[in-house]
Amino acid sequence: MSSTAPIGVFDSGLGGISVARQIARDLPAEHVLYFGDSANAPYGIKTPEQVKSLSFAIVERFVDQGAKAVVIACNTATSAAVNDLREHYDIPIIGMEPALKVACDRGDVPSDPHHIPQRVIVAATPLTLRERKFAKLMERFDSDNEIYKEPCPDLVEIVESGQLGNHQLVMDTLHRYFDQYDLNRIDSVVLGCTHFVFYRDYFRELLPERAAIIDGNEGTVRHLRVVLESLGKLAPEGATGSVELSNSDPSERIATLSHELLNR
Ligand code: DGL
């Protein structure tokens, strides 16, 4: 497969467009085929088996389209399917997980030999937070830090229904999930679902200034670059890339919303 072949990027719906946007910024020579599965969203309240079977169907489609790599721009689909997908396909499959390591590493200050315990809220889908993959990730960090898991399924629905611009609705929803915490004690919030990346400004409004807002998009694209480079598959420098958006929901509403999010 040549280095000019496209990269398949998918999510349960519109959230992964935040990752496609990051690829367009950081790897502008690449061609991205984006597939949002909005007809089947949300994935976060399905069973792992359902999400696995939907993920396989999408990757199969990318393979038919000649993709040189696949990015699972969805923490939920990664937890349910990444291992099986990697076993089954021989193109690189890049997954995503909540950037808990980045949040906890903020407690390692070079001038201080001791780790400063971090208080971290991980906002993600119910499935991501329930799956074994996240439990293993948490095991690595929770003895030295305070980690709180907060499932926020309504934040997925708000993006999918095109209500991200409804300030009142979004802030009410965030307060409903986060008012139970003393936010002045929180060091960071991890956006462990690609839909939530679009809420960064709203989280900024909710959180005190000292609290960091962390997502995994930049890290994922960095990892994608390293993988493609190691295989000699990075698109030639100076080439003009593109992002082609498609969706299992063929409505005009979803097409318009997808373009708006990509250019946001
Ligand atoms: N955007 C997805 C994620 O990163 C999942 C959203 C959903 O369908 O529940 O986990």
**78 appears as a binding residue in the annotation:** no
Which amino acid is residue 264, in one-letter code?
A: R
**Domain limits at 179?**
100-214
User: Could you tell me the pLDDT band of residue 258, with boundaries at 50, 70 and 90?
Assistant: very high
Can you give the CATH number for the domain in which 183 is found? 3.40.50.1860
Exposure letters 88-124 (e unless 16+ CB within 10 A, then b) = ebebbbbbbbbbbebbbebbeeeeeeeeeebbbbbbb
Query: Domains in the chain: how many in total?
Result: 2
Average pLDDT rounded to a whole number, residues 18-36: 98
Judgement on whether residues 189 and 113 belong to the same structural domain of the protein: yes
**Closest Cα to residue 254, out of 144, 130, 151, 161?**
161
Judgement on whether residues 143 and 169 belong to the same structural domain of the protein: yes
What confidence score (pLDDT) does residue 110 get? 79
What confidence score (pLDDT) does residue 109 get? 81
Residue 48 in this model has a pLDDT that exceeds 80 = yes
Residue 232 in this model has a pLDDT that exceeds 80 = yes
CA distances from 87 to 34, 81, 92, 176 (A): 22, 10, 10, 40
What confidence score (pLDDT) does residue 1 get? 74
Which of 9, 37, 38, 43 to mutate for ligand 1's pocket (most ligand atoms within 8 Å of CB)?
43
Q: Which atom of ligand 1 is nearest to the CA of 193?
A: 4
| Nearest CA residue ID for atom 9, ligand 1 | 44
What confidence score (pLDDT) does residue 113 get? 85
Helical residues (DSSP H) of 65-199, grouped into ranges: 75-88, 100-105, 126-130, 132-141, 153-160, 167-178
pTM tops 0.85: yes
**Closest Cα to residue 164, out of 24, 50, 29, 15?**
15
Judgement on whether residues 48 and 142 belong to the same structural domain of the protein: no
Cis peptide before 208 (omega within 30 of 0): no
Average pLDDT rounded to a whole number, residues 216-244: 97
Biggest CA–CA distance in the chain, Å, is: 56
Flag whether 1 is in a domain.
no
Residues 167-220 pLDDT 10s: 999 999 999 999 999 999 999 999 999 999 999 999 999 999 999 999 999 999
Judgement on whether residues 157 and 170 belong to the same structural domain of the protein: yes
Query: Does the Cβ of 220 fall within 6 Å of ligand 1?
Result: no
Which tokens sit at 108?
């390692």
Q: Say if residues 216 and 197 touch (Cβ distance below 8 Å).
A: no
Q: Which atom of ligand 1 is nearest to the CA of 128?
A: 10
Flag whether 164 is in a domain.
yes
Query: Does the Cβ of 125 fall within 6 Å of ligand 1?
Result: yes
Q: Which residues contact 264 (CB under 8 A, 6 or more apart)?
A: 21, 198
Judgement on whether residues 70 and 31 belong to the same structural domain of the protein: yes
| Nearest CA residue ID for atom 2, ligand 1 | 74
**215 appears as a binding residue in the annotation:** no
Which of 10, 11, 18, 50 to mutate for ligand 1's pocket (most ligand atoms within 8 Å of CB)?
11
Judgement on whether residues 91 and 14 belong to the same structural domain of the protein: yes
Instruction: List active site positions.
Output: 74, 193
CA distances from 49 to 55, 73, 137, 154 (A): 10, 18, 21, 22
